């Protein structure tokens, strides 16, 4: 049985779910003794494509493939498709130890976020939070954070910077820390270290 389940979801697509799932799994693989798997629940199989080449330190597969090897894993990270319905989101929140909702300031839909806040607000004690990805420090980010918090959505203090190193990582089928020829890639990896630390801190606070 796995002992930790972190899910990623968003009402909108293209907000950094797959990138986040891969890097949070990378962080878990670095710090845990048990096996880590990413469950690829997106039909486009972008997480699975990222894992081709065998350079990721964890397993990536469909739900069936992960179930078949369930004894091997103590931590699961679920990558979902973009554009989930609210009831699917609630189901994921129910089943998870932590639900992470990546969003991008530029593409953020406040209406969708308000809906999500309302739906998840009924969940009570379950741990969830918004993560700003592709983030650029500044007023827009600060405002977006404040608006979401006013909607009652918890927002991670940690953010993931905007960087082409993430595209390079996906093209090279590696974690961003292993991207060749990028000095900035290390900082991108450290962003996900802070994100993962904060997820653990928030889960502990809820426990
Ligand atoms: N921090 C970042 N900085 C710059 N580009 C990023 C960052 N995170 C992700 N991207 C890029 O943005 C695009 C969308 O990212 P990703 O595939 O992770 O999103 P997604 O939410 O999984 O999308 P989908 O809903 O289609 O599954 C990709 O091209 C990815 O390389
Ligand atoms: Mg994706």
Ligand 1 close to Cβ of residue 83 (< 6 A): no
pLDDT given for residue 118 in this prediction: 80
Nearest CA to ligand 1 atom 15: 16
| Average pLDDT over all residues of the chain | 91
pLDDT value at residue 177? 96
Distance CA 59, CA 182 (A): 25
Provide the token pair at 27: 């962080």
Question: What pLDDT does 91 receive?
Answer: 87
Closest ligand 1 atom to residue 170 Cα is: 31
Angle, helices 110-121 vs 139-150, to 10°: value is: 40
Q: What residue ranges define each of the domains in the chain, with the CATH number in brackets?
A: 4-113+123-206 (3.40.50.300)
Query: What are the residues facing 60 on neighbouring strands?
Result: 38
Question: What would the mean pLDDT of 114-136 be, rounded to a whole number?
Answer: 83
Is the pLDDT at 207 greater than 90, yes or no?
Answer: no
Output the residue whose Cα is nearest ligand 1's atom 13: 14
Q: Which atom belonging to ligand 1 lies closest to the Cα atom of 135?
A: 1
Q: What is the mean pLDDT of residues 177-182?
A: 90
What separation in angstroms does the CA of 44 have from each of 62, 85, 98, 105, 161? 11, 18, 24, 24, 25
Q: Is 82 in the pocket of ligand 1 (CB under 6 A)?
A: yes
- Determine phi and psi for 168, rounding to 5 degrees: -60, -45
Radius of gyration for the chain, computed over Cα atoms and rounded to the nearest angstrom: 16
Please indicate whether residue 99 or residue 125 has the higher confidence score (pLDDT): 99
pLDDT in tens, 51-68: 998 999 999 999 999 999
Residue 154 binned pLDDT confidence (cut-offs 50, 70, 90):
very high
Percent of the chain with pLDDT over 70: 98
Residue 79 in this model has a pLDDT that exceeds 80: yes
> What pLDDT sits at residue 86?
80
Token pair, residue 23, equals: 């890097």
Mutate to test the pocket of ligand 1, among 18, 109, 135 (most ligand atoms within 8 A of CB): 18
With cut-offs at 50, 70 and 90, classify the pLDDT of residue 98: very high
**19 CB under 6 A from ligand 1?**
yes
What is the structure's pLDDT at 105?
87
Distance CA 15, CA 69 (A): 29
Residue 120 scores a pLDDT above 90:
no
pLDDT above 70 (res 111): yes
**Is ligand 1 within 6 A of the CB of residue 14?**
yes
> Hey, whose CA ends up nearest to atom 31 of ligand 1?
167
> For the segment 12-44, what is each residue's pLDDT rounded down to a tens digit?
889 999 999 999 999 999 998 789 999 999 999
* Residue nearest atom 16 of ligand 1, based on CA coordinates: 16
């Amino acid at each position: 049985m796995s002992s930790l389940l972190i899910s990623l979801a968003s009402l909108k697509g293209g907000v950094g779910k797959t990138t986040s799932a891969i890097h949070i799994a990378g962080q878990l693989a670095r710090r845990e003794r048990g096996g880590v798997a990413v469950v690829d629940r997106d039909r486009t199989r972008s997480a699975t494509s990222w894992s081709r080449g065998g350079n990721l330190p964890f397993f990536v597969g469909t739900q069936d493939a992960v179930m078949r090897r369930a004894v091997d894993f103590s931590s699961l990270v679920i990558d979902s498709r973009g554009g989930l319905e609210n009831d699917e989101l609630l189901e994921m929140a129910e089943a998870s130890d932590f639900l992470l909702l990546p969003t991008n300031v530029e593409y953020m839909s406040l209406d969708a976020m308000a809906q999500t806040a309302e739906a998840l607000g009924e969940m009570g004690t379950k741990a969830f939070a918004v993560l700003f990805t592709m983030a650029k420090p500044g007023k827009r980010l600060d405002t977006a954070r404040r608006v979401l918090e006013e909607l009652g959505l918890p927002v991670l203090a940690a953010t993931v910077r905007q960087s082409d190193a993430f595209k390079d990582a996906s093209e090279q089928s590696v974690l961003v820390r292993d991207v060749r020829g990028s000095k900035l890639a290390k900082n991108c990896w450290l962003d996900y270290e802070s994100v993962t630390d904060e997820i653990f801190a928030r889960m502990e606070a809820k426990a």
